[in-house]
């Protein structure tokens, strides 16, 4: 199994590989003329979807793990605590 | 054979026979019976209408087949077959009849053409699915089931009052209400459907009840209630602009909560909210392409979501562990589940060659084409959230990360459960590779959308590979921890409960005080009845003696005095008047 949490070197390699593959996909699309014509949506402009994937993922991680988690997470028995009827 | 036969009724019969049969017979009936419904639905001609006259002048239009009802009926039958195979090892007759009854009620609701029949099967769906929750022996399931039925009773009552108003206006058949008046009936029916479609903030029942259901029950539940509500949205409220914002909110809300979640089934339940958001937004946009996209996504969602539920339930069955942070290394220990989970995860994330790609992207593209650029962007952002929580987080921490050792022994999973998972995986892949198989049945007009263009495929891959980078950079903090995420159910599980307890205590105290006052009053009244002389003298009240003539006997002097006084008054009065 792959321990990417503790093995920083392996993690860096996987990050690098993902970045390279994303760039290759972009290069193929560019070479195929996907960005040459008129585009209607901003996500269809060069590099935009790459940027969107990266920034969008960060936005979600920050919102969910840094802002919402401390605000909204409680102990698992939160609803059972101090309840007379423990199974309701 | 099975020409013009209602497929929903076949499920009722399957449930009935499975309930009374022996274990071996039940297994066979559950595994094979639903396929008869699949045959029946392919034999239903478009435009078929069947009625049933009841109570002299009331006619139930229990089956009307048009393209929309047929395509939903088809996917419900397919899911019934997969679910039947997955759950046929169950020894509980109650679960067999309830699961098949639930599927039958969902199909009947889809084909119902008049409001009363629609409402009847809507309620039957809630009643049958309730027992899939209550059949689970965990103590938490009882409370979750109670909250589930309360929410669905609210939904049913909203629709009931809306239907009564519609009937009073002479509108008898289920139809699109958007072009009519936006009166109380419109809003009541919309509220009822919004509860079942899990519209934020009315969605918490899903995350509460689905993980509390039985291992096989939650697979059925993940596929029907919300999708019947999506069908109702498309048929009754297609083109309501309000739904666009609601759908986007659902898509993002579900994706964000899923990133936080630790319980596998709760995480997938949040993704039901998220994926249904795409369908609701598609219904709200109201163009041919968006409505087709919503229908296609409902079709695909049933397949990949049930597949993901089956995989996670198989892991729970094998290990007894529900929390992501206690699992790991499942790819090596349980390769069938891993293989099927990968297909389900790729499908829900919209990776090319899997069915989510051909349906989700159609809805997003429809939003862009209709001029809702922000909606399209936000739905795309929700797709990143799906990638993050299912494709990366679940896949890594459950299957690829080192084993945490919380489940040293793995219980063998029945073959039928594996067969159900493989059937789901095959359906997801086949539709993903050959989208025309699905597109030919889409009901709102010809499909001009082509998912497999090189720029489109490469764009999706670019987004997927770039979004894995932040996940890996943040990986040490991405592992979920054992906690409960507060959601909108907090309002009725805490403040409303306190309010309810407060009112109950107040009423109890009031009743007790009144009872006490009544008791005291009665005693004193009884004493007064026993001794009316107490009214004239305060002492006997304190002495609390029963009446005795000796206590009140007057002396002879008093008697003479009273007689003389009366005589004197009489003489005085006589002389004065005379």
Q: pLDDT (tens digit, 9 = 90+) per residue, B485-531?
A: 999 989 988 888 889 889 999 999 999 999 999 999 999 888 878 77
Name the minimum distance, in Å, from the CA of B455 to any CA of chain A.
5
A87 touching B, CB under 8 A? yes
Same domain, B267 and B197: no
The more confidently predicted of residues B180 and B277 is: B277
Rounded Cα distance between B49 and B2, Å, is 15
Same domain, residue pair B128 and B197: yes
Cα–Cα distance measured from residue B261 to residue B577, given in angstroms and rounded to the nearest whole number? 103
Last-in-domain residue among B432, B458, B492: B492
Q: Where residue B58 falls among pLDDT bands split at 50, 70, 90?
A: confident
Nearest neighbour of B484 by CB, restricted to A42, A78, A87 = A78
What pLDDT is recorded for position A88?
41
Query: Is B517 found in the same domain as B403?
Result: no
Nearest to B384 among A26, A44, A56 (CB): A56
Domain boundary among B232, B253, B274: B232
Shared domain check, B227 and B242 = no
Which of chain A's residues have a Cβ under 8 Å away from the Cβ of B463? 49-50, 52-53
Q: Which residues of B touch A50 (CB under 8 A)?
A: 462-463, 466
Residue B543 has pLDDT above 60, yes or no: no
Q: Are B484 and A69 in contact (CB < 8 Å)?
A: no
Of B388, B401, B472, the CB nearest to A1: B401
Q: Which of residues 12-41 of A touch B (CB under 8 A)?
A: 14-15, 18-19, 21-22, 25-26, 28-29, 32, 34, 40-41
Say if residue B499 is in the same domain as residue B488.
Answer: no
Residue B561 domain boundaries? 495-577
Q: Nearest to residue B147, comparing CAs of B488, B441, B469, B479?
A: B488
Chain A residues within 8 A of B137 when measuring between CB atoms:
none
pTM of the full predicted structure?
A: 0.88
Note whether B332 and B196 are same-domain residues. no
**pLDDT tens-digit series, residues B203-219:** 999 999 999 999 999 99
Least confidently predicted of B121-135, B344-358, B542-556: B542-556
* Closest Cα in chain B, distance from residue A83 (Å): 10
Collect all residues of chain A within an 8 Å Cβ-Cβ radius of residue B461: 21-22, 25
Q: Residue A46's pLDDT is what?
A: 83
B454 to chain A nearest CA, in Å?
Answer: 7
- Specify whether B502 is located in the same domain as B468: no
Would you say residue B221 has pLDDT above 90? yes
Backbone angles phi, psi at B253, to 5 degrees: -60, -50
Q: Is the peptide bond before B47 cis (omega within 30 degrees of 0)?
A: no
Give yes or no: residues B279 and B383 share one domain.
yes
Who among A2, A18, A61 is closest to B465 (CB)? A18
Structure tokens of B351? 């990776």
Domain stop point among B211, B232, B253: B232
Q: Are residues B197 and B243 in the same domain?
A: no
> pLDDT at residue B300 above 90?
yes
Residues of A in contact with B368 (CB under 8 A): 40-41
Testing the interface with B: which of A1, A26, A27 to mutate, by most B Cβ within 10 A? Answer: A1
The count of domains in chain B is 3
Contacts 24+ apart (CB under 8 A), B178-184: B178/B237, B178/B238, B178/B239, B178/B240, B178/B286
Higher pLDDT, B503 or B554: B503
Are B89 and B12 contacting, i.e. CB atoms less than 8 angstroms apart? no
CA A1 from centroid of its chain's CA atoms: 22
B450 and B566 share one domain: no
Residue-wise burial string across B312-327, b where 16 or more C-beta atoms lie within 10 A, e elsewhere:
bbbbbbbbebbbbbbb
- Residue A87's pLDDT is 46
Q: Are residues B480 and B509 in the same domain?
A: no
| pLDDT band, very low/low/confident/very high, at B113 (cuts 50, 70, 90) | very high
Q: Enumerate residue ranges in chain A where pLDDT < 50.
A: 84-88
Q: Are residues B486 and B377 in the same domain?
A: yes
């Amino acid at each position: 199994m792959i321990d990417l949490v503790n093995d920083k070197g392996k993690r860096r390699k996987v990050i690098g590989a993902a970045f390279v593959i994303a760039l290759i996909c972009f290069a193929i699309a560019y070479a195929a003329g996907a960005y040459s014509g008129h585009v209607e949506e901003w996500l269809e402009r060069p590099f935009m979807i790459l940027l969107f994937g990266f920034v969008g993922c960060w936005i979600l991680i920050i919102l969910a793990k840094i802002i919402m988690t401390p605000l909204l997470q409680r102990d698992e028995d939160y609803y059972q605590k101090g309840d007379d009827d423990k199974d309701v | 054979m099975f020409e013009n036969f209602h497929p929903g009724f076949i499920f009722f019969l399957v449930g009935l026979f499975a309930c009374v049969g022996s274990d071996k017979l039940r297994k066979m009936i559950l595994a094979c019976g639903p396929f008869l419904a699949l045959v029946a639905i392919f034999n239903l001609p478009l435009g078929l209408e069947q009625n049933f006259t009841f109570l002299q002048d009331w006619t139930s239009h229990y089956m009307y087949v048009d393209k929309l009802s047929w395509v939903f009926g088809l996917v419900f039958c397919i899911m019934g077959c997969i679910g039947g195979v997955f759950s046929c090892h169950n020894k509980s007759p109650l679960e067999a009849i309830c699961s098949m009854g639930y599927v039958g009620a969902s199909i009947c609701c889809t084909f119902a053409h008049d409001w009363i029949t629609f409402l009847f099967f809507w309620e039957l769906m809630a009643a049958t699915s309730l027992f899939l929750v209550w059949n689970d022996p965990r103590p938490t399931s009882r409370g979750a089931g109670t909250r589930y039925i309360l929410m669905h009773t609210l939904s049913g009552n909203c629709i009931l009052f809306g239907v009564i108003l519609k009937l009073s206006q002479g509108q008898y058949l289920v139809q699109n209400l958007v072009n009519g008046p936006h009166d109380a009936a419109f809003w009541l029916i919309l509220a009822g459907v919004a509860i079942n479609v899990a519209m934020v903030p009315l969605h918490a029942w899903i995350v509460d009840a689905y993980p509390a259901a039985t291992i096989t029950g939650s697979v059925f539940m993940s596929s029907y209630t919300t999708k019947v509500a999506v069908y109702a949205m498309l048929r009754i409220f297609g083109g309501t602009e309000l739904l666009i914002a609601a759908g986007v909110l659902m898509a993002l809300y579900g994706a964000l909560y899923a990133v936080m979640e630790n319980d596998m089934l709760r995480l997938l339940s949040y993704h039901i909210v998220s994926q249904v958001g795409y369908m609701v937004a598609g219904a709200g946009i109201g163009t041919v392409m968006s409505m087709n996209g919503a229908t296609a996504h409902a079709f695909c969602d049933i397949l990949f979501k049930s597949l993901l539920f089956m995989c996670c339930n198989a892991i729970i069955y094998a290990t007894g562990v529900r929390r992501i942070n206690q699992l790991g290394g499942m790819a090596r220990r349980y390769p069938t589940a891993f293989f099927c989970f990968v297909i389900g995860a790729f499908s829900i994330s919209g990776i090319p060659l899997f069915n989510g790609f051909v349906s989700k992207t159609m809805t997003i593209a429809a939003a862009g084409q209709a001029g809702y650029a922000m909606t399209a962007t936000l739905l795309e952002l929700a797709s990143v959230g799906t990638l993050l929580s299912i494709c990366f987080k679940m896949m890594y921490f459950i299957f690829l990360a080192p084993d945490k050792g919380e489940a040293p022994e793995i219980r063998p999973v029945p073959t039928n459960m594996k067969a159900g998972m493989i059937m789901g995986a095959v359906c997801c892949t086949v539709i993903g590779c050959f989208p025309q198989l699905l597109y030919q049945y889409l009901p709102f007009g010809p499909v001009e959308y082509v998912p497999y263009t090189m720029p489109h495929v490469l764009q999706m891959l670019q987004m997927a590979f770039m979004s894995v980078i932040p996940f890996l950079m943040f990986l040490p903090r991405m592992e979920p921890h054992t906690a409960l995420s507060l959601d909108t159910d907090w309002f009725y599980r805490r403040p409303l409960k306190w309010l309810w307890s407060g009112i109950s205590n107040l009423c109890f105290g009031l009743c007790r005080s009144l009872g006490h006052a009544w008791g005291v009053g009665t005693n004193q009244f009884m004493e007064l009845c026993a001794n009316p002389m107490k009214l004239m003298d305060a002492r006997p009240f304190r002495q609390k003696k029963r009446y005795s003539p000796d206590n009140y006997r007057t002396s002879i002097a008093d008697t003479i005095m009273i007689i003389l006084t009366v005589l004197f008054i009489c003489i005085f009065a006589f002389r004065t008047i005379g």
